[in-house]
Amino acid sequence: MSTEIIINLVYVASAVLFIFGLKLLGSPDTARRGNLISAAGMFIAVVVTLLDQKIIAYEYIALGIVLGALVGAVAARKVAMTGMPELVALFNGFGGLASLMVGWAALAMALSIADTTAPVPLFTLVTVFVSILIGGLTFTGSLLAYGKLSERISGRPFMYDGQRIINGLILLAVLACAVLFILDPTNQNWLYLAVALALVLGVMFVLPIGGADMPVVIALLNSLSGVAAAAAGFAIGNILLIVAGSLVGASGLILTNIMCKAMNRSLRNVLFSGFGVVKKVSGPVVEQGEVNPITADDAYYILEAAASVVIIPGYGMAVAQAQHAVKELQTILEGNGVEVVYAIHPVAGRMPGHMNVLLAEADVPYDLLLEMDQVNPRLETFDVALVIGANDVVNPAAREVESSPIYGMPVINADKARTVFVLKRSMASGFAGIDNPLFFKENTRMLFGDAKEMLGNLVKAFD
């Protein structure tokens, strides 16, 4: 059996491991195993590639494996859960950069063996250009998303007149460079210009997107990094890279669609820079009034008498690392015969599945995590809605105030519960920078302070 056949058979086996691992990622109970299986598939594929006689610099591959393992181990241990969205954005970006480099290397190899009688095939040139274009766009777009998520730069959308026209002109210029480059691949000045424009386009693509839309952005950039990897796979003729890139691209696109529905935006609106568009309607943005603060001791009496409680977590829970305190309170309430469930909004937090991961870390049973569409019809029947660090995903302005930037966005109707407790450090607006009229509702009580500390006080009150 030839070396090429062995390599391709192992690639097929690795692809099967990828698909199986991806399937296991669909449940918190099996997600860790799925991640390990997928990682094992990639490691096997990298090792078997060393059998290819075209590989001559084994030491660089070994060095890459060691460095990658070290970076991954340090990131897994050192990066807090609150930093996971930024880490995912960086991974997307460096995935795009890797595709750009692979495409460029493939072009250099193709040009080195081409001559006048056998020029570089058109298919190779197109796939190389696609990998470079999408890889560059993903890299700078992800870096900007990282900056917004980490609040190193403002998370507010940056918009100006003619923005879409300028973005369109940049894209047309990139396509013009592609045509000129394909006509004469030996003149790489057009390729250099295209790379520069792709990097600029990535920044321009993410610049008008606000912080509240970051989960959609992460999902979309993840999909683009997969598309870039698949294009690079076509450029170098690597089956496994094509399969892996296609899986990432397709799953990211599906997730993007889910996020779009959760934000009440169409995929077409997302792809054509429709983020952050605010409907101009006259009228008040928020309902004004007085807030009603409450102490943990007073909240205890209401919880002690409740028959049902819905817990609505948000990014504030992640910041306070309060998921274990939430689980402790849940256990006490259930011991008192209280029905306790969790309402999870698809874009709660700053990346898809953020709250699910946090609660799984605290061993909260997965069957208690209800999606927004499951819990909203029941919210009027709950005695208490306990909102922990969530803001935009429970904002009733999305239903009631047409001038609100989030009007029409599906939200968890926390205000319809008999009593609402909001655990919040202050009256500051959420990541989207939008005021929340929920805080002024008659049935809302504000528990000001650190979420972990306040939940601890509630637990102590039951002792």
Q: Are 32 and 39 in contact (CB under 8 A)?
A: no
Residues for the chain: how many in total? 463
One-character DSSP codes across 217-285: HHHHHHHHHHHHHHHHHHHHT-HHHHHHHHHHHHHHHHHHHHHHHHTT--HHHHHTT-TT------S-S
- The three-class DSSP label of residue 189 is helix
Please return the burial class of 185, using the count of CB atoms within 10 Å of its CB with bins 0-12, 13-18 and 19+.
Answer: buried
Question: Which token pair is 244?
Answer: 């892996």
**Residue that is written with structure tokens 């568009």 in the block:** 277
Q: ∠408-413-416 over CA atoms, to 5°?
A: 135
Closest C-alpha to 448, from 298, 304, 294: 294
d(CA 36, CA 290): 51
Q: Are 231 and 103 in contact (CB under 8 A)?
A: yes
Q: How far is CA 281 from CA 106, 160, 161, 266, in A?
A: 53, 19, 19, 21
Catalytic position from the list 213, 392, 415, 435? 392
d(CA 95, CA 137): 11
Question: Which token pair is 215?
Answer: 């989960």
| Runs of H (alpha helix) within 114-162 | 122-149
- In the residue annotation, 392 being an active-site residue is answered as yes
Q: Are 445 and 299 in contact (CB under 8 A)?
A: yes
Q: How far is CA 419 from CA 63, 126, 326, 327, 379, in A?
A: 58, 60, 18, 20, 11
| Runs of H (alpha helix) within 336-424 | 354-361, 372-375, 397-400
Q: Which sequence positions are flagged as catalytic?
A: 392
